[in-house]
Copies of this chain bind each other. A is one copy, B any other.
């Protein structure tokens, strides 16, 4: 059996994990005869080279991509423009490509998929979405005769960790500091806490689950930075946990894509996914509901996903066929608009009563008042109505609008959930 040579672009957290796992040479890995021969690094020192005696390190990434002895390129360097240029070259050179780069695939996945198809090589990126959860392979291998009607998930471990700490009583600032101390959040946490990281993942999931190339602008995105302890108290009172959800839901020929802190009923398994863990629920015609939960990041979980792609690619090379393409053929974008499934939690300050606000807005539901905090739980309305509410509330004397949170409907196929009432709650209906 001939050895399959692998070139690594990047030798950071994930790259080192890949090298570590390959060095273990489990029986299954040994049968694949994979060998990292070269790795591109940003700065090369004798000390660094000494750590990886079997791998020729270089600062010339293009030389790795153009090396005729290398069959598989694994990109774990991050960024967008440079890896895009390098992987285009790799695909043109007829090399199999594996990447863990979420931003790159979300931005240029369509172009790279087309290029891979043109050159009859594989492009796999299991590690790019929810590191330790094999969601892309599941989407590619389990739904040929099925139709996914909706998906919802926790795709950002940093946000989930922060909201878990807030649910336990921390302030946002305290929770963020804890996340930073544990290495779950960067010093500038913007991409995580404003939902950008999760939005990129949702774009990739949407491509595979719904055969649709959506854009960042199609996603209704809301960060977690405005949340306060009172929101968690109100959510808890009404029977919910607040989770950083991504969701995509098919409504006829349209798709609603949302990234937002969302009220999840405590009875739903997503509410029990805590700390840095990720999860995804897929609703479909045949399988009804399939949920996967696991670590979303980290060196070994993410590297393990790269190894799974390496296994698939190596098996395909050994058999002499084109490796499976993770990713569908490019499709035209479809208009996205008109979500309708939101239920609204409204948080306000001030001296006016919930009844004042509800009457003014013409809404029906339940009110939870605690100190100067006021939360209104209302029925589903469309985004246009929400915009009208926002406008009305901005002109309302005596209150200030904090935010409006969507409520997760466990039935991703369309029906609105009924919520339980309780004699302690002030309820009113039309």
Contact = CB atoms under 8 A, between A and B. Distances in A.
- Copies in the assembly, this chain: 2
A304 B324 contact: no
A141 B145 contact: no
B290 A293 contact: yes
A293 B319 contact: no
A197 interface: no
Interface of A is mostly: mixed
A307 B310 CA distance: 25
A304 to B, nearest CB: 4
Nearest to A295: B288
Given A134-B138, A269-B269, A21 B290 contact: no
A134 B286 CA distance: 13
Interface string A129-155: 000111001100111111100000000
A141 B132 contact: no
A294 B291 contact: yes
Nearest to A294: B290
Interface stretch (A22-30, A173-181, A366-374, A393-401): A22-30
Please classify how large the interface on chain A is, using the bins under 10, 10 to 19, 20 to 34, 35 or more.
35 or more
A322 interface: yes
Contacts of A145: 21-22, 24, 26, 28-29, 304, 307, 311
11 contacts: A22-B145, A26-B146, A28-B145, A137-B141, A141-B312, A146-B304, A269-B273, A269-B293, A287-B301, A288-B300, A291-B291
Given A26-B147, A29-B145, A141-B311, 10 more contacts: A21-B286, A26-B144, A132-B286, A134-B290, A137-B137, A137-B138, A269-B273, A286-B301, A287-B294, A292-B292
